[in-house]
Structure 1
């Protein structure tokens, strides 16, 4: 299964649709700050949450069961993501999620902490502290193995981010 993870597209609906069409994922996760009308978001299998710049009434957080993995999705502004990832990690663990996706910092990150894979795809249009706008693709390889790769909006791989991870399935 292939999952596209994006965040902080800040009104660039056309670019978002271009990336979604190019990647052709089985599911799309948008971690908030889409900054358009919800009706302008891509259609299909989509999980979206509201960011601090969004006005549309969508969920503040969401859970999505993708194959053997449970994803926790939030924007992150209510979880102190600029200083620590523990609140997101704990929230994911409390609800049986082994993958947590968030945005807000505009900085791409992928790390594993106490059984939870934490993924921030960066910003699709306005990176901060990183030289490229970015998004992430998570590929499930079997039941426990996943690979995460980061790309620029034109589809160029960002080789210094991502990697292969083994996740222990929730019980």
Structure 2
């Protein structure tokens, strides 16, 4: 199973359309995860043309997106449980990574996908993969735009980032 992971698209302000590098990967996706800050339901519609989409709302999403997606969910993919959360919270001293890690209990999920910081992260903590895809349209202080790909084979989970220079 191939899962394309995005977050912090901030569309249409940061881009009017999905970047071509992302579109190439979406063409072979079985599932798309969006970790919040869509800022427009049109982003959902663009992604849904390629594969089923699961997502959560972020701190820049309005009432309609919060109502549609909520802030936290667990997605069952084959035999693995993936926690999905944006990574924002009320404690300003917590990083998005820490906020995401604390959003799920011990042994509740196999992986946590989050966003908010626009900073790509891939690491294991207490046996759980913490994965932030970065942003395909708003790299902020990063050198490159990015998104992620998760691949599930049996009970194994592989994660990788895809980096690129041009969001067109």
Smaller-chain TM-score range?
0.7 to 0.9
Inter-partner Cα distance in structure 1 for 2:47 and 2:127:
31
Query: Displacement of 1:124 after TM fit?
Result: 1.1
Q: Check whether the contact 1:35–1:54 (CA below 8 A) recurs between aligned residues.
A: yes
Inter-partner Cα distance in structure 1 for 2:35 and 2:96:
17
Asked whether 1:46 is paired with 2:53, we answer yes
Asked whether 1:112 is paired with 2:117, we answer no
Q: Check whether the contact 2:86–2:100 (CA below 8 A) recurs between aligned residues.
A: no
Query: Displacement of 1:146 after TM fit?
Result: 1.9
- Any stretches of 5+ residues in structure 1 without a counterpart? 156-171
Asked whether 1:69 is paired with 2:68, we answer no
Q: Check whether the contact 1:93–1:116 (CA below 8 A) recurs between aligned residues.
A: no
Deviations 1:62-86 (A, max 9, x none): 1100011101101111176963634
Partner residue of 1:32? 36
Query: Displacement of 1:41 after TM fit?
Result: 4.6
Query: Displacement of 1:20 after TM fit?
Result: 4.7
Inter-partner Cα distance in structure 1 for 2:158 and 2:77:
14
Aligned pairs (5 A) from 1:1-171: 1-11=1-11, 12=15, 14-15=17-18, 19-20=22-23, 22-23=25-26, 24-37=28-41, 40-43=45-48, 44-55=51-62, 56=65, 57=67, 58-78=69-89, 83=95, 85-94=97-106, 96-143=108-155, 145-152=156-163
Cα 1:76/1:41, change in 2 over 3 Å? farther
